[in-house]
Amino acid sequence: IVLWDVHRGESLREYEEHESRAWSVDFCKPNPTIFASGSDDGRVKLWSTNVPDSVLTIENHANVCSVRFNPVSVEKLAFGSAHHHVHYYDLRFPRQPLHVFQSHKKTVSYVKFASGTELVSACADSTIKLWNLETATLERTFSGHTNDRHFVGLSVNQDYIACGSEENAVYGYYKAIPKPFVQYRFASQDPLTGEDVQDDDETVFISSVCWCPRHPT
């Protein structure tokens, strides 16, 4: 993992403790000198920008695909992994998770916070789920997009959720409604060659999405 100074275009520090591919990095908004990473080595590591070594390691024993800090808490962190669960930790007590959310049927590819009390997870079982962190319960399951094997992206902006699809389409969900309220399908063309492809061509899919932060519509 490389920490960059974007104004000077220079790397400030490299962090080299993970033993396999690092999938996800997230900074703690209340304390931006702290960030976390998740890796195929089955570990979540907590880092400080001031020191070269990790300050905490959580052993998960399965590939960690996505890690996120609670946006209003320095101590709370969530991650999704290949063993189909979402873990939510209080970093002051790292030996056991606060909650383990179990409902997905495949790898959990993304976790994102909708608020300090709501967590959204996306999975390769073609579902997105909204969890209530205060009651540790599943509030809603969203379905309509196709996601069986690839990472198709997830973006959350308060009440709105967006994801990609293996149908070369982007879907938008409103958190109170389990079905998508909007869908946009891109032209069935290879993005590299420009040639027409079949609608069922699995090589053409959406890999990343992002809501405009100031204008969620």
Contacts 24+ apart (CB under 8 A), 190-196: none
- pLDDT at 191 exceeding the cut of 70: no
Spatial separation of the C-alpha atoms in residues 160 and 103, rounded to whole Å: 21
Task: Report residue 40's pLDDT band, with 50, 70 and 90 as the boundaries.
Answer: very high
Instruction: Give the global pTM.
Output: 0.89
Check pLDDT > 70 for residue 201: no
- Residues found in the chain: 217
pLDDT score of 199 more than 60:
no
Confidence of residue 186 (pLDDT cuts 50, 70, 90): confident
> With bands split at pLDDT 50, 70 and 90, how would you rate the model's confidence at 159?
very high
Q: Which of 30-39, 89-98, 163-172, 182-191 has the lowest mean pLDDT?
A: 182-191
Report the Cα 164 to chain-centroid distance in Å.
13
Residue 94 has pLDDT above 90, yes or no: yes
Q: Residue 198 CA to chain centroid, in angstroms? A: 29
Residue 99 has pLDDT above 90, yes or no: yes
User: Is residue 203 over pLDDT 80?
Assistant: no
Query: What average pLDDT does range 24-41 have in this prediction?
Result: 97
pLDDT digits (tens, 9 = 90+) for 125-135: 999 999 999 99
pLDDT of res. 214: 81
Tell me the pLDDT of the chain averaged across its residues. 93
Per the structure block, which two tokens stand in for 118? Answer: 């709501």
